[in-house]
């Protein structure tokens, strides 16, 4: 190829691909509600989007679909960590106990009357939060909500700081 043809091809490819790269990192917000299924779908979509890491802060955690999705992410090489309320997650039927037995780092936090957070930080740029406890009741019986803020690092960093604080207070 001549220098002019190479330059034109480079310009054409840059023009075509630049919009795709800006779309990929565009901030967007998705919501979900329960009952009805969209809340759990929103959470599972967020988990399945992970490429590097998922940090979870949970109050009550008994949801099999969420636990399985986190385990699957871990098996794909995603770094998964969970910090949960100590009083609500010590039982043998807790998803936290199951995840710990699967080799996922888990800490229980008993510093507060209730460690009532319900959020995830995914890849350091996406945040999932809302009233939704990671439980079957949240899916089937409660009126709950979820919000995922995609590709917004400043929000994710604020939640990451809170996760790190709760994690440092927790015990294995």
54 against 87, higher pLDDT: 54
Structural domain contains residue 69: yes
Q: In the annotation, is 118 catalytic?
A: yes
- Let me know if residue 21 belongs to a domain: no
5 within domain boundaries = no
Residue 161 CA neighbour count, 13 Å, CB half: 5
What pLDDT score was predicted for residue 90? Answer: 74
In a domain, 55, yes or no: yes
* Residue 102 falls in the annotated catalytic set: no
Does 8 map to a domain?
Answer: no
Is residue 113 assigned to a domain? yes
Q: What CATH number is associated with residue 83? A: 3.30.870.10
- Among 64, 101, 110, 116, which one carries the catalytic annotation? 116
Pull the structure tokens for residue 37: 């299924």
Nearest to 70 by CA among 46, 35, 36, 41: 46
Percentage of the chain surpassing pLDDT 90? 68
Is residue 127 in a domain? yes
Say whether 55 is catalytic.
no
Catalytic residue among 102, 123, 140, 172: 123
Instruction: Give the pLDDT score at 22.
Output: 46
Domain hosting 122: range is 28-169
For residue 85, is pLDDT > 50?
yes
Residue 31, C-beta contacts closer than 8 angstroms, at least 6 positions apart: 38, 42, 145, 146, 147, 148
The string of pLDDT tens digits covering residues 104-137 is: 999 999 998 888 999 999 999 999 999 999 988 9
In the chain, how many domains are there? 1
Asked whether residue 20 is domain-assigned, the answer is: no
Chain segment 21-60, per-residue pLDDT in tens:
445 579 999 999 999 889 999 999 999 999 999 999 999 8
**Residue in 87, 118, 140, 172 annotated catalytic:** 118
């Amino acid at each position: 190829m001549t220098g002019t043809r190479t330059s034109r091809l480079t310009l054409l490819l840059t023009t075509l691909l630049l919009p795709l790269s800006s779309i990929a990192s565009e901030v967007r917000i998705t919501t979900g509600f329960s009952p009805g299924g969209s809340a759990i779908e929103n959470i599972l979509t967020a988990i399945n989007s992970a490429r590097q890491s998922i940090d979870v802060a949970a109050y009550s955690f008994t949801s099999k679909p969420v636990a399985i999705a986190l385990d699957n992410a871990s098996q794909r090489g995603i770094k998964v960590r969970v910090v949960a309320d100590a009083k609500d997650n010590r039982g043998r039927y807790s998803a936290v106990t199951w995840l710990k037995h699967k080799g996922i780092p888990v800490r229980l936090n008993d510093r507060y009357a209730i460690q009532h957070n319900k959020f995830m930080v995914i890849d350091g740029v996406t945040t999932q939060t809302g009233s939704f406890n990671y439980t079957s009741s949240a899916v089937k019986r409660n009126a709950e909500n979820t919000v995922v803020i995609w590709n917004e690092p400043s929000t994710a960093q604020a939640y990451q700081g809170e996760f790190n604080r709760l994690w440092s207070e927790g015990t294995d």
